[in-house]
Amino acid sequence: MPRTLEEMASVGLEKLRRKATAMSASWAAAKSRMIAGYEAQPFGPTRKANYRDAINAATHRTDPDKWYTNWIAKMRE
Protein backbone atom coordinates (compact mmCIF):
# COMPACT_ATOMS: atom_id res chain seq x y z
CA MET A 1 0.00 0.00 0.00
CA PRO A 2 1.42 3.45 -0.93
CA ARG A 3 2.55 5.61 1.96
CA THR A 4 4.11 8.74 0.53
CA LEU A 5 2.50 11.33 -1.71
CA GLU A 6 4.89 10.33 -4.46
CA GLU A 7 3.85 6.68 -4.17
CA MET A 8 0.17 7.61 -4.20
CA ALA A 9 0.71 9.91 -7.18
CA SER A 10 2.52 7.12 -9.04
CA VAL A 11 -0.51 4.86 -8.64
CA GLY A 12 -2.75 7.62 -10.00
CA LEU A 13 -0.31 8.36 -12.81
CA GLU A 14 -0.39 4.78 -14.06
CA LYS A 15 -4.18 4.75 -13.87
CA LEU A 16 -4.35 8.00 -15.86
CA ARG A 17 -2.00 6.63 -18.50
CA ARG A 18 -4.17 3.51 -18.90
CA LYS A 19 -7.34 5.58 -19.25
CA ALA A 20 -6.04 8.48 -21.37
CA THR A 21 -7.12 7.07 -24.74
CA ALA A 22 -10.60 6.20 -23.49
CA MET A 23 -10.95 9.65 -21.89
CA SER A 24 -10.15 11.37 -25.19
CA ALA A 25 -12.54 9.12 -27.10
CA SER A 26 -15.34 9.81 -24.60
CA TRP A 27 -14.74 13.54 -24.85
CA ALA A 28 -14.86 13.41 -28.66
CA ALA A 29 -18.09 11.38 -28.52
CA ALA A 30 -19.65 13.99 -26.21
CA LYS A 31 -19.08 16.91 -28.60
CA SER A 32 -22.49 16.55 -30.25
CA ARG A 33 -24.20 16.48 -26.83
CA MET A 34 -22.32 19.58 -25.73
CA ILE A 35 -23.37 21.41 -28.87
CA ALA A 36 -26.99 20.26 -28.58
CA GLY A 37 -27.15 21.42 -24.96
CA TYR A 38 -25.79 24.83 -25.86
CA GLU A 39 -28.14 25.14 -28.84
CA ALA A 40 -31.05 24.70 -26.43
CA GLN A 41 -30.01 27.83 -24.51
CA PRO A 42 -31.58 31.22 -25.29
CA PHE A 43 -28.38 32.65 -26.77
CA GLY A 44 -28.29 34.28 -30.18
CA PRO A 45 -27.04 32.73 -33.41
CA THR A 46 -23.59 34.33 -33.20
CA ARG A 47 -22.91 32.95 -29.71
CA LYS A 48 -24.17 29.53 -30.73
CA ALA A 49 -22.06 29.48 -33.90
CA ASN A 50 -18.96 30.54 -31.98
CA TYR A 51 -19.51 27.81 -29.39
CA ARG A 52 -20.17 25.17 -32.05
CA ASP A 53 -17.01 26.14 -33.94
CA ALA A 54 -14.92 26.11 -30.77
CA ILE A 55 -16.17 22.69 -29.67
CA ASN A 56 -15.63 21.22 -33.14
CA ALA A 57 -12.08 22.60 -33.26
CA ALA A 58 -11.15 21.53 -29.73
CA THR A 59 -9.32 18.33 -28.88
CA HIS A 60 -8.88 16.57 -25.56
CA ARG A 61 -5.45 15.70 -24.33
CA THR A 62 -3.96 14.45 -21.13
CA ASP A 63 -0.60 15.36 -19.66
CA PRO A 64 0.19 12.69 -17.08
CA ASP A 65 3.47 14.28 -15.99
CA LYS A 66 1.77 17.63 -15.38
CA TRP A 67 -1.02 15.86 -13.48
CA TYR A 68 1.57 14.08 -11.28
CA THR A 69 3.35 17.32 -10.37
CA ASN A 70 0.16 19.27 -9.77
CA TRP A 71 -1.47 16.51 -7.70
CA ILE A 72 1.47 16.33 -5.31
CA ALA A 73 1.58 20.13 -5.00
CA LYS A 74 -2.17 20.28 -4.27
CA MET A 75 -2.02 17.54 -1.66
CA ARG A 76 0.78 19.39 0.13
CA GLU A 77 -1.30 22.56 0.54
3-state secondary structure the chain: CCCCHHHHHHHHHHHHHHHHHHHHHHHHHHHHHHHHHHHCCCCCHHHHHHHHHHHHHCCCCCCHHHHHHHHHHHHCC
Closest by alpha carbon to 17, among 60, 59, 67? Answer: 67
Confidence of residue 1 (pLDDT cuts 50, 70, 90): confident
Q: Are residues 35 and 57 in contact, defined by beta-carbon separation less than 8 angstroms? A: no
Segment 7-65, tens digit of pLDDT: 999 999 999 999 999 999 999 999 999 999 999 999 999 999 999 999 999 999 999 99
Query: What is the model's pTM?
Result: 0.70
- Residue ranges of the domains in the chain? 5-75
Instruction: Name the more confident of 2 and 11.
Output: 11
